[in-house]
Structure 1
Amino acid sequence: MDEGFCIIEFLDGPHGPLSDYIHIEANAAYATNAGIPNVIGQKLREMVPDEADAWIARYGHVLRTGEPIRFEQELVATGRYLELSAFRLGSAEDRLVAVLFKDATARRDAEEALRSLNETLEARVVEEIAERRAAEVALQRAQKMESIGKLTGGVAHDFNNLLQIVSGNLQLLQSDVIGNERAERRIANAMAGVQRGAKLASQLLAFGRRQPLEPKVVNAGRLVVGMEELLRRSIGEAIEMEMVVSGGLWNAFADPTQIENAILNLAINARDAMDGVGKLTIEVQNAFLDEEYAAKVSDILPGQFVMIAVSDTGCGIPPEIVDLVFEPFFTTKAEGKGSGLGLSMVYGFVKQSGGHVKIYSEVGEGTTLKIYLPRVHDSEDVAAGPELLDMSGGTETILVVEDDDEVRATVTELLRDLGYDVLTARDAASALPILESGVKIDLLFTDVVMPGPLRSPELARKAKERIPEIGILFTSGYTENAIVHGGRLDPHVSLLTKPYSRQMLAARIREALNKR
């Protein structure tokens, strides 16, 4: 577009002196840009009455002061963006102002496009930085979880062995103090301490995603409804409880015992948050987590889930600590009122099951914690009736393989008290010659984690090769990855977790022998 110019002459009018002007000269470029043909001789207020005051004030200032001006302006009529300059011709009495201009629309559009591009690039950089930061946080969390998992695994292995020694000897001692009420009470108190220690180790393994799960296809709605009586007893009569189970509920794939433990933990936390008075709501429904949601959350894939929500009307959690509640040993309860492992256990179990956990909380309003468990299309596994434990002993021969001398001695005595013949070995390598000796062995009872080049699963395989009818029962305070893969106990594997009671030992030994 050519550069244009015009000369304007100020006029007196109804609005006062110098309140209007006419164009006395203009080139073709002016008419094209202004969108007003035949502009010569026309008064401004008649051409553009809505814009006249602004133009008259601007050019009137040039006329009165003699000071040139430069400015940029978009014309309403044409949408063109102009660079303009104006200066006075002669004196103020001459009433003449010259205006020069050129079309800057292309430059303005290019600048806006560049600015938009820069804003887009900046937004992308910010987004990439946020994504990188999220990835770093996710990596740090994964590394932290791996470290915690290794730490808790090692601690659980040794700790549960110690608990097994204490527990086994206490149970052996029980028969020696029958009738001594004071001694029996002390043994009972000591056994309660063992159980608390075992629970602590179990919760640590759950948070570290190292517990052996036995997932099944479950209807979470039916499972939750079946817990109603237990939950009512746990939260007390002063708390109103409501269960909302949606129709057409999908099946989930998870360990039903751990689901029950998680819901019970959440219900007890809710009870404490409400100080024993309020409303607890448990909802079960189908849910879909889309790609947009999954992109914002680490360690979860989009898909279909079964959602279990536990809501309370309690005190709520301050926003500055809500992200810390899943950390082990972190608790919002008063000192001595909680271990800080309940929510971390829930978190670890759900993550180990391929699910997701989300918490919503508002101070003074309450808290909702949602558990998402992966959906499966398989039919629900038929729940077995109450397990009848056969705690009778027997006369069969059992090979006990255990690297801890005191654990081995304790379990040997427990088994002999049950009537069994017991052979012992301190590791898999020393157990193999006994299996190859031709001695009749009915059951291999072996620890999972032991030193030496021969691993327990391999020992079990070799035992089956040599004695096809032999029973196999594993035991451990921590399974490592020997018989647990993907967080799940390998198929057809029997595991007795340490520390175990005399009754459970008797029942699982009998079960393994009967399965042969």
Structure 2
Amino acid sequence: MGKSLYKLFPEVKGTKVEQTYIEALKTQQPQRIETEYQIGDKKLIFEINVYPSKDGLSVITKDITERKMFETQLLRAQRMESIGILAGGIAHNLNNMLTPIMLSLQMLKQKFKDEQSHKLLTILENNSQRSADLIKQVLSFSGGVEGERAPLEAKHLITEIEKVANETFPRNIEIRTDIPENLLTISGDVTQLHQVIMNLCVNARDAMPDGGILNISAENFFIDESYTRMHIEAKIGSYVIIAVSDTGIGIPHEILDRIFEPFFTTREFGKGTGLGLSTSLAIVKSHGGFINVYSEVGKGTKFSIYLPAIKTRTEIQNAQEQKLELLFGHGELVLIAEDEDSVRDVTVSTLEKNGYIALAAKDGADAVVLYAQNKDKVKVVLMDMMMPIMDGQASIRAIRKINYEVKIIAVSGLTEKDRLKNVADYTNSFLPKPYTAEILLKTIHEVLSAK
């Protein structure tokens, strides 16, 4: 451009980036640096390559935020695998030490019959058994305990857990279930999957000390290529999603990344082992699935368990007949308001590949500004409900003031339809996260076609 870097980027002074530029000029050698930039509430990571030239410096900057996000996911997965291997080794050794202790206790109880000895030996026996149960959990987390796989219906599993929850959970917690009739079959160990769902339900109960709504739902879900780009563990194919959501206190963003680590717990000492979620994740992974978590502090949390579906020939034929056709656009302008870079980029890419023109906003305030500038062109607004600066609810109301007739689709990974009552009169449809290309295009088509 022929302009001074300091005029273009005055904030570069005194930073590592400036030092990189100086080093490139001094050595006349190419330099590379990765640096973070804070834009509003978003942290972006850039790769900067500096090349000396006869006129000064050539600088190429690339946004690598999404790549770094995937690297973080891979490192987290590797860390969990390493911890699992270590935990498995320790657990096996502890089992070897516990076995003679528990056998000896049984013999000692037969030998010493007096009340005091019996009392002490019973305490030792109970604590030894608790230790054995804890080690079993560690082995489950590390993948050392394999269950028996068999075809099973998620409906029966959820119905059984609903019955247990209704009988044992506090009366101020309302239990709801939503199970369609045409659920695909999954393959799994019924005891292990029961443990996973029950553990999530107990966590949901504990997150609602003053009562609330616990919802257990299931649905068929086809993961396409678009979705696999947003989730590193997803594979293309048919899944059954079992979701457990609550209206509780939510999980703070700063610890959301750690909740699946073994022995991590926010409960008081002695009230939890910190192995519940790590064991649940290990069980789900051993079934070829994965878990998604979405949480809003003060509003609630939703755990979605993705389990691969198995299909009979009849189910495959029915699925093919019912498969949604991709509904192409005709150049309509869609405004996407989404603060998650990967979700926003994939959504934009999907729409543009299927006949739409996409306009992207990184937060609610940006969406309102962009809509005001393009109000005569935008045909539909895709609005995420949880964003920085201005959330979805406030943004929707602001856009409606500009044009009450505009069509708006509310998007959320947590909020169920019946919890959208605050914006129900301001929206035309609801799109739950995560969504596939087919569901996205179908929802937009239906909204645009509605009179």
What's the CA shift for 1:141? 2.7
* Higher alpha-carbon deviation: 367-376 or 161-170: 161-170
Matching residue's letter, 1:165: P
What's the CA shift for 1:197? 1.5
Matching residue's letter, 2:264: F
- Structure 1 residue runs without a partner (length 5+): 1-120, 380-516
Partner of 2:172: 238
Partner of 1:176: 111
Q: Could you list the per-position Cα deviations for residues 406-447 of structure 1 after superposition, in whole angstroms to 9, with x for gaps in the alignment?
A: xxxxxxxxxxxxxxxxxxxxxxxxxxxxxxxxxxxxxxxxxx
Partner of 2:232: 298
CA contact (8 A) 2:260 2:281 kept: yes
CA contact (8 A) 1:232 1:241 kept: yes
Partner of 1:136: 71
Change (3 A) 1:174 1:348: same
Bigger Rg, structure 1 or 2: 1
1:190 aligns with 2:124: yes
Partner residue of 1:228 out of 138, 146, 162:
162
Matching residue's letter, 2:304: K
Partner residue of 1:371 out of 298, 305, 308:
305
Alignment of 1:101-500 (within 5 A): 125-126=62-63, 129-130=64-65, 132-177=67-112, 180-275=114-209, 277-377=211-311
Q: Could you list the per-position Cα deviations for residues 317-353 of structure 1 after superposition, in whole angstroms to 9, with x for gaps in the alignment?
A: 1122222211112222234332211111111111121
Structure 2 CA distance for aligned equivalents of residues 298 and 352 of structure 1: 16
Q: CA RMSD in A?
A: 2.5
Change (3 A) 1:234 1:191: farther
Structure 2 CA distance for aligned equivalents of residues 306 and 322 of structure 1: 24
What's the CA shift for 1:203? 2.4
Structure 1 CA distance for aligned equivalents of residues 251 and 312 of structure 2: 38
Change (3 A) 1:283 1:183: farther
What's the CA shift for 1:174? 3.1
* 2:135 aligned counterpart, secondary structure: helix
Structure 2 CA distance for aligned equivalents of residues 326 and 157 of structure 1: 22
Q: Could you list the per-position Cα deviations for residues 52-102 of structure 1 after superposition, in whole angstroms to 9, with x for gaps in the alignment?
A: xxxxxxxxxxxxxxxxxxxxxxxxxxxxxxxxxxxxxxxxxxxxxxxxxxx
Q: Could you list the per-position Cα deviations for residues 137-172 of structure 1 after superposition, in whole angstroms to 9, with x for gaps in the alignment?
A: 244234323321221121011111122222222223
What's the CA shift for 1:273? 0.9
Matching residue's letter, 2:223: L
TM-score by length of structure 2 reads 0.52
CA contact (8 A) 2:223 2:234 kept: no
Change (3 A) 1:283 1:185: farther
Q: Could you list the per-position Cα deviations for residues 93-112 of structure 1 after superposition, in whole angstroms to 9, with x for gaps in the alignment?
A: xxxxxxxxxxxxxxxxxxxx
Q: Could you list the per-position Cα deviations for residues 375-409 of structure 1 after superposition, in whole angstroms to 9, with x for gaps in the alignment?
A: 11259xxxxxxxxxxxxxxxxxxxxxxxxxxxxxx
* 1:324 aligned counterpart, secondary structure: coil
CA contact (8 A) 2:80 2:261 kept: no
Change (3 A) 1:136 1:373: same
Q: Could you list the per-position Cα deviations for residues 197-241 of structure 1 after superposition, in whole angstroms to 9, with x for gaps in the alignment?
A: 223222223333333232221111111212333333442333221
Structure 2 CA distance for aligned equivalents of residues 276 and 210 of structure 1: 38
Matching residue's letter, 1:297: H
Structure 1 CA distance for aligned equivalents of residues 307 and 225 of structure 2: 17
Change (3 A) 1:268 1:158: same
Structure 1 CA distance for aligned equivalents of residues 167 and 126 of structure 2: 21
Size of the alignment, in residue pairs? Answer: 255
Partner of 2:24: none
Structure 1 CA distance for aligned equivalents of residues 65 and 139 of structure 2: 32
Q: Could you list the per-position Cα deviations for residues 438-469 of structure 1 after superposition, in whole angstroms to 9, with x for gaps in the alignment?
A: xxxxxxxxxxxxxxxxxxxxxxxxxxxxxxxx
Matching residue's letter, 1:208: S
Percent of aligned pairs with the same residue?
A: 41
CA contact (8 A) 2:95 2:135 kept: yes
* 1:227 aligned counterpart, secondary structure: helix
Structure 2 CA distance for aligned equivalents of residues 224 and 187 of structure 1: 40
Change (3 A) 1:130 1:154: same
Change (3 A) 1:188 1:240: farther
Alignment of 1:55-94 (within 5 A): none
Higher relative contact order (CA 8 A, sep 6+): 1
* 1:253 aligned counterpart, secondary structure: strand
In the TM superposition, structure 1's runs of 4+ consecutive aligned residues that sit over 4 Å from their partners are none
Structure 1 CA distance for aligned equivalents of residues 233 and 68 of structure 2: 15
Matching residue's letter, 1:329: F
Structure 1 CA distance for aligned equivalents of residues 217 and 116 of structure 2: 47
* 1:140 aligned counterpart, secondary structure: helix
Matching residue's letter, 1:262: V
Change (3 A) 1:237 1:146: same
What's the CA shift for 1:355? 0.4
Structure 2 CA distance for aligned equivalents of residues 325 and 226 of structure 1: 26
CA contact (8 A) 1:358 1:371 kept: yes
* 2:234 aligned counterpart, secondary structure: coil
Change (3 A) 1:378 1:190: farther
Change (3 A) 1:122 1:365: farther
Change (3 A) 1:294 1:210: farther
CA contact (8 A) 1:149 1:210 kept: no
CA contact (8 A) 2:173 2:214 kept: yes
Structure 2 CA distance for aligned equivalents of residues 291 and 176 of structure 1: 66
TM-score by length of structure 1 reads 0.46
CA contact (8 A) 1:203 1:341 kept: yes
